[in-house]
Structures are given as C-alpha cells and as structure tokens.
Amino acid sequence: MKLYGIKNCNSVKKAMLALEQFNFEFLDIKKINKNILDLWLKQKSFEELVNTAGTTAKKLILTKEKLKSLSKEELETLILENPSVIKRPVIEFKNQIFVGKEYEKLL
C-alpha cells in the first residue's frame, strides 16, 4: 500500500491512523510525476482527484466549472505544478486508487 499525502494535513493524519494495521509506504504528494498522475487518471477523473474546496484551488481560482473548461493537458500541467490541489490522501492498494475518504472502504 502506498499513501500519498502531506504529513501535516489533518485528512492524511486521520487516514494514517485508520490504516495503521496496514503496512503502508508514505509518499509526499508534492513529489508526484506524470507517470504517477497517469496511473491515477486511469481509474479516477480530474473531478475526483482535484479538491476545488481546498486552499490551493481557491488561490488558483479553480472552481468546478473552470475544471470542466480546461483540456486534459492543461489539467495535467496544473496538477503537476500545484500538487497540493489534489484531494488527500491518495492511496494505491491492490491495483486500485482511493482518493480522500474512500480509504474507509478498506476498513
């Protein structure tokens, strides 16, 4: 299991506590690359990955409507340049991707 997040993020802290019975590897979400993003996008949409209610999205004025108006390439660039816009945590487990509170399905 791989858990991507930011150490001081409350959502990530809650997930780490809830998943402590699993042997997971913690990875800094700010260090993702195009290959990792492409892997996630095979299972999740941009709408599922991006937290439009978060601080980073608000700074970028990234609303749900704006998200829908951007091309795939623009969205990829935006995420790779601003990985904090991703809903956290993102968990890779048994070839599945879980975003945000979806990890609760594993408990």
Catalytic (active-site) positions:
9
Residues 6+ apart with CB under 8 A from 99: 40, 44, 48, 49, 87, 89, 90, 91
DSSP lists the bridge partners of residue 91 as 3, 98
Going by C-alpha positions, the residue among 23, 24, 32, 31 that lies closest to residue 3 is 24
